[in-house]
Structure formats: structure tokens, C-alpha cells
Amino acid sequence: MSLVLTLASRNLFHDRLRFVATMVGIVFSVVLVMIQMGLFLGFGRMVTTMIDHASADLWILPKGAKCFEDPSLLDVKLRDRVATMEGVSWAVPLVIGFSDWRLERGEVTPVFIVSADLRDGSLQPFNVVDGNVQTLTQGANVAVDRSYFDRLGVSGVGSTAEIRGRKVRVVAVTDGIRSFATTPYVFVDLKNARNYTGTPRDRASSVLVRLKTDADREKALSAIRAQVGDAEVLTSEDFRSRSRSFWLFGTGAGAALFAGALLGVIVGTVIVAQTLYSSTKDHLNEFATLRAMGSSNAYIYTVIIYQALINAVIGFAIAAGIGSIVVQMTAKSALPIVITPWLMAALFALTVVMCVASGIGAIIRVVRIDPATVFMR
């Protein structure tokens, strides 16, 4: 094995204080980027959680609807027209909207009503941990997530409260259906959803469509689009993408997260560049000696690049450890940080690029070394 790695690691570890400073810079930078991007991913997942869990292939939406929570309404007759079309398995109206939840102790808190269709299974409460969702249709029953028990003033199945002055009973409890807007989702049946949100009988927020397994999807999509007039027909993937795009970029939230990540990259690059440069400057005499001995510039660059890579690997390992702790700590929070293997791989690549790019200043300094200087010292 070449001595390059040995030389690079000794150069780095020789000055422990500087090495620690470098590590702090890299870890700070990578953790900051990791959290920002993890929030971005978490946010991106959260804003599409209902779309992800609906078993629909297509969504018929009011023209220009930007996301699942969009309050626009469309004519529910579209549902009847589409349901009988060739290739369509079922079409179900969905009603959503904000409402008021009055706790037994009298406080009022806003909730987000989602109509569940239990017959066709278009969008139902998921991750059910207690109770029976089938009973949602049997009166003024609701399903809530246990993470909102305190907010809603309930303790589980059997608890009661009021929505818009109507008494409701919790019949099912879910786990992990969190709302990014912190307004709890409350699942009810379609009829109750209309009552709680004030949606007229001839209106719906959207229509969910499931295609038959043997249907020609493109053909069915074109045919449905021709039938719905002003309304829009989106595939689940398109609707997911539109929702993400609206919440992440339309609101500026994504830009803020990216700006934070960019800041992290800049801070990390500057710190690593500064410490690598100063380390190189301290070892200039050694690099000049190498040059005097006849080493090629490439050999010296390799030493510096290896220093950068060692920084990157150790810094990233520490940051990844911190990142995994943060992920665990936020798993049950309103906005969990999501770190996927791809994000991890991308962050590692970014760390390597950041550290190697930081070595450019040091390399430029080394290029100017005059090997003759070793005879003057």
C-alpha cells in the first residue's frame, strides 16, 4: 500500500485541535444539511399522506386544485357519469374540510374532516390500532389518531366530543396519521362529512376513481377527461407531485429548507477549506521536500485529496450517527425528519465533494511551492 494514506492521516491527526475543529465544521454542516433535507422529505411525505393511502388510480379535482386540502368543490354528478364508464371499477366522492371540535370540557379546536368510504375502500383510516372502522357508518362516529388525544380531549374508543354542535363518538383509533398543519385529521362517513363541513349534497371536494385491472389506463384517462368538463383528472402520482410542489415550493417552505441546506454546505466548505489550507501551509516544508525529492505534483495532490477524504469519511460517520438519533427523536413528532438510504448516499457524496472542493485552495498553494526552499532552511 502506498504511504500516501499514512502521510495524509498523520498530517491530519498530528494537530488534534485543528482536526477537532475540522470535524466540528463538517459535522455541523452535514447535520444541518441532513436535517434540512430530512425535513424536506418528511414534509414532502406528510403533505401527500392521504393521497398515498388512498387506493384510487385517478383523482377528479376542481380545476386548479393545488393539494389534498384544497377547499374548492366540484359537481358530484361527475361521479355518476364516470362510475359507469368502460374500464372504471368504482368512483367515490370525497368530502374534506375544516370544522370545529368541542371537547367535553368545553374548549374548541379546529379539525380537518376526511370522509371515508368503507364500501369501496377508496380512502379509509389506516394504521388502525383500536376499535372498528366499519362502525363509522353507524351514526355520528369518528376515527382519530392517538397522537391527538390530548388536543381532542379524548382517551380512546368510546370517548365523546362535539363537531359543529353534534355529538360524536370515537369508534376507531389510528397511529401515526399526523397532519403537517397540526390540525388533527378526523375520519367520518360521507354523510357526516357533509354535515360537519357544510358541503352541499350536490358537491364534493374530489372524486376518487379506481380502474379495472385489465383496463387500458391511457384510454380510460382520456375518456374520463373528455367527460368531466372543467374538472381536472390527475393520476395519483401527478396529484402527489402537484401537492408536494404546492406545499414545498408554492409556499416557500421548500425554498427555506433548501436555503438552510445551502447555508450548511457553504459553512462546511469554508471551514474545511480553511483548516485544510492551514494544515497544508503548516506542512509546506514537507511538501517542498517531497517535491525536491522528485515527487510529481500528482503525488502531492493525492496526499491533500486523501486528507480531504479522511475528513469526509470521519465527519460523515459522526454526522450520520447524530442524524439517526435525530430521526428517532422526531419519529413521533408533528414533522418527522425522514432520512432515506438515497438521502444518506447523496449526503455522503455531497460531503466528499465538499471536502475535496475545499482542498482546491490547498492544492493551489502547493502548486506554487519552490522545492529549492528546502535548501534555504
Partner 1 sequence: MNDHVVEARSVEKKLGRGAGEVHALRGIDLALRRGELTLLMGPSGSGKTTLLLVLGCMLTPSSGSVTVCGTPTADADKEALARIRREHVGFVFQSYHLFPTLTATQNVQLALDIRGEHGRRAAQKARDALVMVGLEQKVDSLPGGLSGGEQQRVAIARALVANPSVVLADEPTGALDGKNGQSIMRILADTAHERERAVLVVTHDPRVVPYADRIVEIEDGLIVQERTDRPRMPTAVPFRA
Q: Is 269 in the site for partner 1 (CB under 8 A)?
A: no
Minimum CB distance to partner 1, residue 359 (Å): 19
Footprint on residues 86-115 left by partner 1 (CB under 8 A): none
Q: Is 290 in the site for partner 1 (CB under 8 A)?
A: yes
Q: Is the dihedral of CA 130, 133, 135, 140 positive or negative?
A: positive
CB-nearer residue toward partner 1: 138 or 296:
296
CB-nearer residue toward partner 1: 104 or 370:
370
Contact 109, 101 (CB under 8 A): yes
Distance CA 222, CA 180 (A): 34
CB-nearer residue toward partner 1: 222 or 296:
296
Piece of 5-13, 61-69, 190-198, 328-336 that binds partner 1 (CB under 8 A): 5-13
Contact 364, 212 (CB under 8 A): no
Planar angle of CA 218, 224, 226, nearest 5 degrees: 105
Distance CA 43, CA 246 (A): 12
The residue from 89, 137, 274, 295 that contacts partner 1 (CB under 8 A) is 295
Minimum CB distance to partner 1, residue 356 (Å): 22
The residue from 266, 325, 331, 372 that contacts partner 1 (CB under 8 A) is 372
Report which DSSP code applies to 153: T
Strand partners, 185: 112
Q: Is the dihedral of CA 234, 235, 241, 244 positive or negative?
A: positive
Planar angle of CA 225, 226, 227, nearest 5 degrees: 90
The residue from 267, 292, 335, 343 that contacts partner 1 (CB under 8 A) is 292
| Three cell numbers written together for 76 | 358530484
CB-nearer residue toward partner 1: 76 or 362:
362
Per-residue x/- track, 19-38, partner 1 (CB under 8 A): --------------------
Number of other residues whose CB lies within 10 A of the CB of residue 352: 16
Piece of 40-48, 142-150, 252-260, 366-374 that binds partner 1 (CB under 8 A): 366-374
Distance CA 67, CA 43 (A): 13
Q: Is 301 in the site for partner 1 (CB under 8 A)?
A: no
Q: Is 374 in the site for partner 1 (CB under 8 A)?
A: yes
Q: Which residues bind partner 1 (CB under 8 A)?
A: 1-4, 6-7, 10-11, 14, 285-286, 289-297, 299, 371-372, 374-375, 377
